[in-house]
Amino acid sequence: MALSKANKKKIIDALNIERSYELAAVSQYMGHHYEASGPESFAVTDLFKSTSIDEMKHAEKLAERIVYLGGVPVQKPAAVKRGGTVKNMVAADLAAENAAIERYKGYIKLCDKLGDSTTRLMLEEILAQEEGHADNWETYLG
């Protein structure tokens, strides 16, 4: 069954909200990659960079789906948290991942409700990666 125009708009709007957060995550993680300093940074700077790249791929997938559904992907990122100690950076990243996990779960429910199994599957794949990111930061913080 094809999605109605109204349901497509609801999904596009949800995906655009998340795309703004993913764009922010790209900047936040890359900033943490090159701003982290001190001995504790050696264990995590490469993880900041690789996570930034993962988030960039999420933003790209969301944009491609938005375009497929007939929308225009947002370009403006949500707020970015920068600076502080490495521990503060990781704590901010963990908080952002946990918030993303909750948003993705909500978007998955929306897709179920509206009958968009393709978008739901894509979001489930991204959710699994976000949960992996959260696990990395939880492990680092001990």
113 with 66: CB under 8 angstroms? no
Mean pLDDT, rounded, for 50-74: 98
33 with 45: CB under 8 angstroms? yes
Mean pLDDT, rounded, for 22-41: 94
Instruction: Please say whether the dihedral angle defined by the alpha carbons of residues 25, 28, 34 and 37, taken in this order, is positive or negative.
Output: negative
Looking at every residue in the chain, the average pLDDT score rounds to 96
Mean pLDDT, rounded, for 131-139: 97
Long-range contacts from 106-109, C-beta under 8 angstroms, 24+ separation = 106/14, 107/14, 107/15, 107/18
pLDDT of residue 125: 98
Mean pLDDT, rounded, for 42-67: 96
Q: Which parts of the chain fold into alpha helices (H)?
A: 5-35, 45-68, 86-114, 117-141
Q: Is the pLDDT of residue 69 over 80?
A: yes
First to last CA, the chain: 47
Residues 6+ apart with CB under 8 A from 132: none
pLDDT tens digits for range 72-115: 999 999 999 887 899 999 999 999 999 999 999 999 999 999 99
Instruction: Provide the percentage of residues in the chain whose pLDDT is more than 70.
Output: 99
For residue 106, what are the CA distances in angstroms to 34, 80, 94, 101, 139? 33, 22, 19, 9, 25
Q: How confident is the model at residue 43 (pLDDT cuts 50, 70, 90)?
A: confident
For residue 17, what are the CA distances in angstroms to 10, 73, 74? 11, 10, 8
Q: Is the pLDDT of residue 1 over 70?
A: no
